């Protein structure tokens, strides 16, 4: 169980913000930190890592006290068993892939874990390569493997996939998932990608203005306000008229749908209008890809 | 005919100064590159002073400091029987002070240009500050280290004002090439002065060549 | 309006100095560093009896020589030796051959406690004396004289390790005055000067024991051409009885 209750005055471009959070994270779970920019997500992660010190509070990880302002305890990052994956990967340019991953291990450490990680992240063939020649996706995988080499107590991921294109992202998300199920490390990921959050995490901390607005399963947090069955928000694109029945092109998330609709409904709509679409009636067909 | 002693003396002074400063400047630059405080600002000013002070001023103050008539000189003479004026050791100290910013600034600049996430990543993997400095930071600022070394070396070769004040021009000990050139000119032996000068120019040009050549090789290893 | 004021002021600048120049003659004299003490009095004495303003440029003889052959606008050069004036004459910048105006006197000077001066120079061998300052014999006649003196006393070999060389008499004296050198050979003019008068102790050395330190002056072509009367008057003054008195007072031999 990871317990954190901390306060910190943060300074941002918009002024001062008081970060005040209090929550417990189950061991082995994969949770996400979600919220608008400047809400304090990265700061929270950095405080867990020990890169930033809270003004007040308590951080306990599996009964180990990492930070306690009352008893003046502040364990340095080196002594906290963490794995941190940075947004800019922060790989060491003077080392190749294998050396980066080995970096955290002492000489005495068994190297078996490195082989395992290289396989899980599909990097075995690239172990000798200098990191400068790797693509973004490959670099991120190295960062992930490196963070896990020491089997940390806490895996912290700061928007690790935000610089990766969509196609590659699903691949990497799958890697993250398989790693998590393999090692069962308590993991916290900061992400803006709802898709990602849904796929990977079991709980989401919704942070706004430095406070936890909601802590629940992603499904609950990202349910849209239209609770009715079969309704969703979309963006109207265009209309193809043909008598009474027409076809509308709408944008749902990042997918364009062509749906049958009544001309009357769609006539006054302009491109870019936000609309609600409801699919009442016949059940929809579902098939796995 | 010119003597070779001044040339060798100059090279010896330059080599030793560079080596000493290399090991001195790394911890100083490392300290200065981390969190700022008023003490560090003062330190930065002190480190940069030799850049703006005329070398003769540095030499003059050193001469005063070394003098057995003043507390520091007296202390050295009384407890260690050391006199720094007119000695190679005194020149070395003057040289180290004179070229200090030339080693510190490039290294500091290099360290500051590294993303802080690099350091944090190393800490997150359990490495201490020292281990991080030697395994992650320094290996990734090789061009800066090289710049510092070469600037310091070249700068020391040309050192004149400081040596003039505290050297005493002793053959084999403190009569460096720059002083030899000056003396030959003073004595109206322009031919000899030219020879010394030519040798110094040749050495400096060779060093610069080495710098630019190896810098090009290092450019191939770019930081992400 | 503003432009008018500017033009007015500027024209004053243009016309003003020429006017005053015509009133009082000015000459520029280049003086070797160790002569600067005596020169101050020479200047006063001359200006008292002549309506001429004397500007002085003090420097190392070598530097001044270099400047003169590069065209520096000096009228007279008072050196501390004969080599540099000779060089200026050879290069064609002198109005006439240089003339000796005085001889330098060598003294042994120390500002350290506990050193007993002795005209028998063998006391310099004492281990208590670790550094002996002399002017660089390559470029300063006082240095050449000091080395000659030591050679006469067969002390050069034994004292070689203690010798410390000043680039000029000024620097040599500074080494001694600051205590960095335990003792040293310098010009009598230095130890008699107001700045150094009561510092330490000194003894004068036998003039027979070292080659004469001849100090020469030279009237420069620039002086002859630009400030003919004033420059010549001053140059001649350097060899007058009054001047000789001043030299003596400041520690030079005639």
**Model confidence pLDDT, tens digit, residues C112-137:** 888 888 888 899 998 889 999 999 99
pLDDT score at A259 = 86
**Cβ separation of C66 and B185 shorter than 8 Å?**
yes
Chain B partners (3+ C-beta pairs within 8 A): A, C
Residue C61 lies in a domain: yes
Class of domain A2-221: alpha beta
- The pLDDT value given to residue B224: 41
Which candidate in A77, A80, A160 is best for mutational testing of the B interface (most B CBs within 10 A)? A77
Instruction: Of B118-127, C4-13, C14-23, C187-196, give the lowest mean pLDDT range.
Output: C14-23
- Shortest CA gap C117–chain B (Å): 19
**A150:B121 CB<8 A:** no
Q: Are residue C160 and residue C196 in the same domain, yes or no?
A: yes
CATH code (residue B151): 1.10.3720.10
B127 to chain A, any CB pair closer than 8 A? The answer is yes
Higher model confidence: residue B103 or residue C223? B103
Work out the pLDDT band at C62, boundaries 50, 70, 90. confident
Within 10 angstroms of residue A282's Cβ, the number of other Cβ atoms is 6
- Residue C167 in this model has a pLDDT that exceeds 80: yes
Q: Chain B residues with CB inside 8 Å of C111's CB? A: 69
- Residues forming a β-bridge with C201: C110
| Residue whose token pair is 């540095």 | B58
**In-domain check, residue C74:** yes
In this complex, the residue of B86, B175, B183 whose CB is nearest that of residue C180 is B86
Q: For all residues of chain A together, what is the average pLDDT? A: 87
Q: Residue B175 domain-assigned?
A: no
Domain range for C176 is: 106-204
B136 inside 8 A of chain A by CB: yes
**Touch C-B: 3+ C-beta pairs under 8 A:** yes
Using CA atoms, how far residue C152 sits from C108, C122, C133, C205, in Å, is: 15, 12, 18, 13
Give the ipTM.
0.82
**Residue C232 lies inside a defined structural domain of this protein:** yes
For the domain that residue C89 is a member of, what is the CATH number? 3.40.190.10
Q: DSSP label at A22? A: E
Tell me which residue of A18, A12, A26 sits closest to A215, measured CA to CA: A26
A150-164, A241-255, B189-203, C18-32: least confidently modelled range: C18-32
Q: Do chains C and A touch (3 or more CB pairs under 8 A)?
A: no
- When divided into structural domains, chain B yields a total of 1
What stretch(es) of chain A map to CATH 2.40.50.100?
231-278
Q: What's the total number of domains in chain C?
A: 2
d(CA C242, nearest CA chain B) in Å: 32
Task: Write down the pLDDT at residue A215.
Answer: 86
C24 vs B125, which has greater pLDDT?
B125
| Same domain for C199 and C113 | yes
User: Is C254 within a domain?
Assistant: no
Q: Is C220 helix (H, G, I), strand (E, B) or coil?
A: strand
Whole-number Å distance between alpha carbons of C254 and C245: 9
Smallest Cα distance from A90 to chain B, Å: 5
> In the predicted model, what is the mean pLDDT of residues C208-231?
89
Which has more pLDDT, A264 or B86?
B86
Which residue is it, tokens 């200065």?
Answer: B32
Q: How confident is the model at residue A193 (pLDDT cuts 50, 70, 90)?
A: confident
A91 touches chain B (CB under 8 A): yes
- pLDDT at residue A38 above 80? no
Residues C180 and C221 grouped into a single domain: no
A104 → closest Cβ in B125, B140, B222: B125
Residues of B with Cβ-Cβ distance to C63 under 8 angstroms: 186
Q: Do residues C114 and C25 share a domain?
A: no
Q: Touching check for C164 and chain B: CB below 8 Å?
A: yes
The domain of B58 spans 12-170
Q: Which pTM value belongs to this model?
A: 0.79
Cβ atoms of C91 and C109 within 8 Å: the answer is no
Of all residues in chain B, the one with the smallest CA distance to A155 is: B124
Strands A15-25 and A2-12: antiparallel
DSSP run (H or E) holding B223: none
C-facing residues of B in 123-182 (CB < 8 A) are 164, 168-170, 175, 182
Same structural domain, C217 and C175? no
Residue C129 lies in a domain: yes
Mean pLDDT in order along chain B per 10 residues (224 residues):
85 94 95 87 92 90 86 84 86 94 95 94 94 94 91 90 88 89 84 90 83 73 48
In a domain, C123, yes or no: yes
Q: Does residue C21 carry a pLDDT above 50?
A: no
Q: Is residue B93 part of a domain?
A: yes
| pLDDT for the residue numbered C245 | 92
Confidence of residue C23 (pLDDT cuts 50, 70, 90): low
Q: What percent of chain A has pLDDT over 90?
A: 31
Q: Is residue B132 part of a domain?
A: yes
Q: Is the pLDDT of residue C106 over 90?
A: yes
Output the six-digit token pair for A148.
Answer: 């896990």
Residue C199 lies in a domain: yes
Query: Considering only A164-168, B143-147, C63-67, C221-225, which range has the smallest mean pLDDT?
Result: A164-168
Most C-contacting residue of B56, B86, B171, B175 (CB-CB within 10 A), to test interface: B86
Topology adopted by domain A231-278: OB fold (Dihydrolipoamide Acetyltransferase, E2P) (2.40.50)
At residue C18, the pLDDT reads 47
Predicted pLDDT at B63: 87
């Amino acid at each position: 169980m990871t317990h954190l209750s901390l306060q910190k005055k943060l300074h941002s471009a918009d002024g001062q913000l008081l970060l005040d959070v209090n929550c417990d994270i189950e061991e082995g779970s994969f949770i996400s930190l979600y919220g608008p920019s400047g809400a304090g997500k990265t700061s929270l992660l950095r405080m867990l890592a020990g890169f930033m010190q809270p003004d007040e509070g308590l951080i306990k990880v599996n009964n180990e006290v990492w930070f306690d302002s009352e008893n003046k305890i502040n364990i340095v990052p080196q002594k906290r068993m963490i794995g941190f994956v940075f947004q800019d990967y922060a790989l060491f340019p003077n080392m190749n892939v294998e050396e980066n991953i080995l970096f955290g291990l002492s000489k005495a450490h068994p190297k078996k874990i490195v082989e395992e990680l290289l396989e899980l992240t599909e990097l075995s063939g690239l172990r000798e390569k200098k990191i400068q020649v790797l693509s973004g996706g490959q670099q991120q995988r190295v960062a992930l493997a490196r963070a896990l080499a020491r089997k940390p107590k806490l895996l912290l991921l700061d928007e690790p996939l935000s610089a990766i294109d969509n196609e590659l992202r699903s691949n990497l998300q799958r890697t993250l998932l398989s790693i998590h199920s393999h090692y069962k490390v308590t993991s916290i990921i900061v992400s803006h990608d709802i898709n990602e959050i849904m796929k990977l995490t079991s709980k989401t901390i919704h942070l706004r203005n430095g406070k936890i607005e909601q802590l629940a399963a992603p499904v609950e947090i990202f349910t849209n306000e239209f609770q009715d069955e079969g309704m969703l928000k979309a963006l109207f694109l265009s209309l193809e008229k043909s008598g009474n029945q027409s076809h509308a092109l709408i944008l749902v998330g990042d997918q364009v749908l062509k749906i049958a609709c009544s001309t009357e409904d769609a006539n006054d709509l302009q491109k870019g209008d936000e609309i609600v679409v409801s699919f009442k009636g016949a059940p929809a067909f579902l098939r796995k890809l | 005919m010119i003597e070779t002693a001044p040339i060798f003396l100059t090279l010896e002074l330059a080599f030793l100064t560079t080596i000493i400063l290399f090991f001195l400047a790394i911890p100083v630059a490392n300290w200065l590159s981390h969190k700022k405080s008023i003490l560090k600002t003062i330190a930065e000013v002190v480190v940069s002073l030799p850049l703006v002070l005329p070398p003769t001023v540095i030499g003059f103050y050193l001469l005063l400091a070394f003098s057995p008539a003043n507390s520091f000189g007296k202390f050295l003479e009384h407890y260690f029987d050391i006199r720094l004026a007119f000695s190679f050791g005194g020149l070395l100290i003057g040289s180290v002070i004179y070229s200090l910013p030339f080693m510190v600034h490039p290294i500091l600049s290099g360290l500051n240009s590294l993303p802080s996430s690099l350091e944090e990543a190393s800490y997150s993997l359990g490495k201490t500050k020292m281990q991080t400095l030697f395994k992650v930071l320094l290996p990734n600022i090789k061009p800066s280290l090289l710049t510092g070394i070469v600037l310091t070396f070249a700068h020391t070769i040309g050192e004149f004002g400081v040596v003039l004040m505290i050297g005493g021009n002793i053959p084999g000990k403190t009569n460096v090439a720059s002083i030899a050139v000056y003396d030959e000119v003073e004595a109206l032996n322009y031919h000899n002065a030219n020879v010394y000068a030519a040798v110094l120019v040749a050495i400096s040009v060779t060093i610069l060549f080495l710098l630019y050549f190896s810098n090009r090789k290092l450019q191939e290893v770019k930081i992400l | 309006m503003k432009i008018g004021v500017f033009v007015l002021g500027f024209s004053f600048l243009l016309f003003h100095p020429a006017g005053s120049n015509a009133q009082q003659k000015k000459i520029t004299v280049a003086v070797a560093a160790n002569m600067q003490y005596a020169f101050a009095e020479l200047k006063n004495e001359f200006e008292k009896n002549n309506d001429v303003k004397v500007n002085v440029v003090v420097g190392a003889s070598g530097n001044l020589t270099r400047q003169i052959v590069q065209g520096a606008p000096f009228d007279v050069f008072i050196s501390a030796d004969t080599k540099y004036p000779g060089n200026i004459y050879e290069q064609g910048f002198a109005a006439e051959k240089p003339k000796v105006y005085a001889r330098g006197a060598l003294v042994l000077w120390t500002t350290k406690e506990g050193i007993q001066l002795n005209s028998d120079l063998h006391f310099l061998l004492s281990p208590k004396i670790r550094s002996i300052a002399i002017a660089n014999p390559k470029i300063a006649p006082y240095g050449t004289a000091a080395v000659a003196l030591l050679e006469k006393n067969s002390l050069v070999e034994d004292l070689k390790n203690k010798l410390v060389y000043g680039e000029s008499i000024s620097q040599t004296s500074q080494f001694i005055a600051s205590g960095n050198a335990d003792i040293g050979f310098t010009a009598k003019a230095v130890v008699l000067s107001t700045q150094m008068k009561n510092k330490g102790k000194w003894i004068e050395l036998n003039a027979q024991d070292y080659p004469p330190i001849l100090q020469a002056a030279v009237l420069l072509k620039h002086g002859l051409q630009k400030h003919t009367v004033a420059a010549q008057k001053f140059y001649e003054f350097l060899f007058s009885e009054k001047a000789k008195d001043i030299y003596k007072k400041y520690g030079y031999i005639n």
